[in-house]
Amino acid sequence: MIRVQGLEFRYQRSDFVLRVAELEIADHERVAIVGPSGSGKTTLLNLFAGISTPDRGTVQTAAERVSSMPDSARRRFRVQQVGLVFQEFELLDYLSVFDNILLPYFLSSALRLDDAVRTRARSLATDVEIADKLARNVAKLSQGERQRVALCRALLPRPRLVLADEPTGNLDPSNKHRVVDLLLENAQAAGATLVAVTHDAEVAERFDRVLDMAALQ
Ligand code: ADP
Ligand code: MG
């Protein structure tokens, strides 16, 4: 569940202002966010995740008021409850594909890495057809392959909230649909809330609801 009330956010030294009077995304809902480039889609996901905090208003995510948590609690919340697929992937170039997928387990002592987790990591990689590249350094992957690694990493801990920023932006049509299948199916199986930014009408129409940035202000 995500609930935003009276939100206002500005970057320092920038004219951009994001305002969201009221927004609610229910538990288990799967929502696509659409809107032109520069309209604040990534900014909004960062606010949902607690990466940024609003200047005014509140953001409540998965029963936690992330906008008023101290930094350390927000970081812990993010690792444990939020699966993020960043627009720029944020993979660690010196690690293999497999270790990048397992990364949340290296970063948080609250997540326990065991054989079941490793097996699930391999299975997710198989679902998006990168299982043959698990030992490869991520620096030696195509953009589309990197995007799929980022997706596996986000889904592995079965987060309650999955936030995906243009997760199909670099994919060919068949991989695009495979990634959307994986996102929708995993969210449903895990009872997670899913919010995905997309420019692709074919992708957006597969979600329960489409939220247009223009309608939020
Ligand atoms: P979208 O994801 O919809 O393309 P963003 O949320 O990335 O849009 O950006 C919204 C606006 O905020 C843009 O005008 C962008 O230039 C600006 N912006 C994004 N990040 C920063 C930042 N770190 N500092 C200043 N301005 C930023
Ligand atoms: Mg963006």
Give the residue, by CA position, lying nearest to ligand 1 atom 15: 38
Give the residue, by CA position, lying nearest to ligand 1 atom 25: 11
Say which ligand is closest to the CA of 35.
1
Question: Which residue range forms the structural domain that includes residue 150?
Answer: 2-216
Task: For residue 43, give the ligand 1 atom closest to its CA.
Answer: 6
Are 127 and 178 a contacting pair, CB within 8 Å? yes
Distance 38 CA to ligand 1 centre (A): 6
Helix 173-190 and helix 115-127: axis angle, to 10°? 140
In this structure, what CATH number is given to the domain that contains residue 70? Answer: 3.40.50.300
Distance CA 154, CA 173 (A): 21
Pocket mutation for ligand 1, best pick of 17, 19, 42 (most atoms within 8 Å of C-beta): 42
Give the residue, by CA position, lying nearest to ligand 1 atom 7: 42
Q: What is the pLDDT along the chain (217 residues), one digit of tens a residue?
A: 899 999 999 999 999 999 999 999 999 999 999 999 999 999 999 999 989 999 999 999 877 788 888 888 888 888 888 999 998 889 999 999 999 999 999 988 888 999 999 999 999 999 999 999 999 999 999 999 999 999 999 999 999 999 999 999 888 898 899 889 989 998 888 889 999 999 999 999 999 999 999 988 7
pTM to 2 decimal places: 0.92
Beta bridge partners, 161, equal: 82, 193
- Total structural domains in the chain? 1
